Amino acid sequence: MCGIAGFINGRGDAQSPVLQAMLARIAHRGPDGQGIFVDGPAALGHRRLAIIDLDGGPQPMFNEDGRLAVVFNGEIYNYRELTAELTDSGHVFATRSDTEVLLHGWEQWGPELLPRLRGMFAFALWDRDTRQLFCARDAFGIKPLYYYRADDGTLLFASEIKAFLDHPSFEKQLNERQLELYLSFQYSPGEETFFTGVKKLLPGHWLRFDGTTLQTGAWWQTAFTPEVSPTHWPEAIDAVLQDSVAAHKIADAEVAGFLSGGVDSSYLAALARPGRCYTIGYAEPGYDEAIEAARLAGTLGIENRVRRITPTEFWDAIPAVQYHMDEPLADAAAVALYFLNETASREVKVCLSGEGADEFFGGYNIYKDPFTVRWYDRLPAGLRRVVGSVAERLPAIPGVNFLVRRARPLDQRYYGTTALLTERQKRRLLRRYQGIVQPRDLARPCWQASAGLDPVTRMQTCDLQLWLPGDILLKADKMSMAHSLELRVPFLDREVFALARRLPAEVKADAQRTKKALRTAAARHLPAASAQRKKRGFPVPVRDWLRDPRYAARVEAAFRSPAAARFFDTDRLHTLLRRHLRRRQDNWRQIFCIYCFLVWYEQFFGRDAA
């Protein structure tokens, strides 16, 4: 696990001091070493967090004749098998590092190497003979990679956007159009970013640059193919997860785990049996999962460390969280992850975490929707639209969200689990609303790709392509690497997905339960209460803390800032906050979303930002 950065200069040879400055920005991703390589216009840099082959894996790494150079962020879990196969084909390995597989694999197979890789990765490979750069990102988007084409022809790439800030060809400009999407998604969705010209290399995609022409394309297509078969799904799930956990434990350093009260992390802990695990807790009992986690850890014989977060710590950490995220993120769980990773990093370098189980196995509570109150969907569509339009203007009370949500067919309304502000609400709040790109525009390809499948699988497709890489995995990467910790996600494995994509709808969700087959599989290793515990997400008491004058004052100050006045109708912002404080409406998510954007903006575009 590391950080990479580099560029192909558009005019003249690359300069190593520029690369050094880029790497300094992301030093937190790899405190164990730094490597640079400059070859004419090309500059490749690497910050290392040593996990495998502690002494023999420095990067950039080269093939036997020095023609190929690679910098790599991630882990290849089947590197031993690939090493044996490539050795049999005549390749000579100089290290025990998984990085070297990329070099010899590229020599042997070229781009066909990518579907052979089992792991998480973002890498950049420079061919000194053809003068071409090739980059690739793993299938599910576990590891991030950004790129930017400057006006002078220079191409920049890095694990984090902030690495671009020190390159003289980079022009830092706000992409204000992304704000409208963010206010609906709570994260920055799709290929675009909040920085003009900076793009994400999408999950399962490659990039090729020859100094003139920039090309990108997909090497992987994520698709569910539910089937009707006599397969005993829980048994099959348990077998493939045991194999994945074993692969994800390969390391030359201790592998610990994260543990909440939910089934996902509990199941992984039961399979992996790490020596210790880490849990977040709060003083507020309605949000605290530490007691449940400690009880399970005792049952499994695992040492449990609990980090309880105070509200003051939470609010104080938000600027650092937004800085490390690179783009604004209004997922309060990111702050909890920030502290969880900080605590773990004091003792270990690697932790297992449960991201991906909900998207693969049907875990979100909203997946119950197609099975509930079905009579309402049989009402005339026009009537439901009228009721929904009226409900949209009402305070957020139980039942109102249901009426708004069910006013339109699923494929016209669903773009993720956390739909925040509607277009009508954004039009009222924003000073410069354009509505050129709307959430459903980003979701449309997902719905087209899943045409003919059941509603749960179609929602999974949407979440797998938007929510998972845009929020879940991005905060997992950025919050772990902020503290130089490697986070491994055994659910997000190619072999696990090969099974999960085949699951029929009836073993995923119904009106009462989610992750039905996964829970049955987990019950083979867990107490029944742990296997069947309802989905809670990663609860954080922001709703309550926002009603405390000490923390409401921070938000109120942000809402009075010049940045707030630039982007928003500040009178409406204060109305949102006032109604929440007086308990007339539950507006915490909208308030927190706007507040996080304003904090992020000050980090990167404020008066003293650099």
Give the residue numbers marked as catalytic.
Answer: 2
Q: Are 213 and 469 in contact (CB under 8 A)?
A: no
What is the Cα–Cα distance from 505 to 507, expressed in whole angstroms? Answer: 6
What is the Cα–Cα distance from 202 to 216, expressed in whole angstroms? Answer: 9
What is the Cα–Cα distance from 276 to 565, expressed in whole angstroms? Answer: 48
Strands 68-76 and 119-127: antiparallel
The pair of structure tokens assigned to 43 is: 């500059």
The pair of structure tokens assigned to 213 is: 């022409």
What is the Cα–Cα distance from 253 to 342, expressed in whole angstroms? Answer: 18
* SS3 readout for 407-450: CCCHHHHCCCCCCCCCHHHHHHHECCCCCCCCHHHHHHHHHHHC
Q: In 3-state terms, what secondary structure has residue 508?
A: coil
What is the Cα–Cα distance from 275 to 37, expressed in whole angstroms? Answer: 39
What is the Cα–Cα distance from 558 to 555, expressed in whole angstroms? Answer: 5
Q: Is 495 exposed, middle or buried (0-12, 13-18, 19+ CB in 10 A)?
A: middle
Q: Which of 156, 82, 67 is nearest to 114 (CA)?
A: 82
How far separated are the first and last CA of the chain, in Å rounded?
Answer: 27
Long-range contacts, stretch 285-293, CB < 8 angstroms, 24+ apart: 286/539, 286/541, 287/539, 287/540, 287/541, 289/260, 289/261, 289/262, 289/536, 289/539, 292/260, 292/261, 292/530, 292/533, 293/259, 293/260, 293/261
In a 13 Å sphere around the CA of 596, the CA atoms on its Cβ side amount to 32
Partners of 38 in the β-ladder: 43
Q: Are 300 and 275 in contact (CB under 8 A)?
A: no
What is the Cα–Cα distance from 280 to 343, expressed in whole angstroms? Answer: 9
Asked if residue 285 has a cis previous peptide bond (ω within 30° of 0), the answer is: no
Quote the distance between the C-alpha of residue 236 and its chain's center: 27
Using CA atoms, how far residue 209 sits from 39, 108, 215, 265, 567, in Å, is: 15, 21, 6, 40, 37
Residue recorded with tokens 């609400």? 425
Using CA atoms, how far residue 102 sits from 1, 34, 81, 83, 93, in Å, is: 15, 19, 13, 10, 11
Strands 276-281 and 303-308: parallel
Quote the distance between the C-alpha of residue 207 and its chain's center: 20
- Per 3-state DSSP, the chain is made up of helix, strand and coil in percentages (nearest 5) of 45, 15, 40
Q: In 3-state terms, what secondary structure has residue 125?
A: strand
What is the Cα–Cα distance from 222 to 464, expressed in whole angstroms? Answer: 8
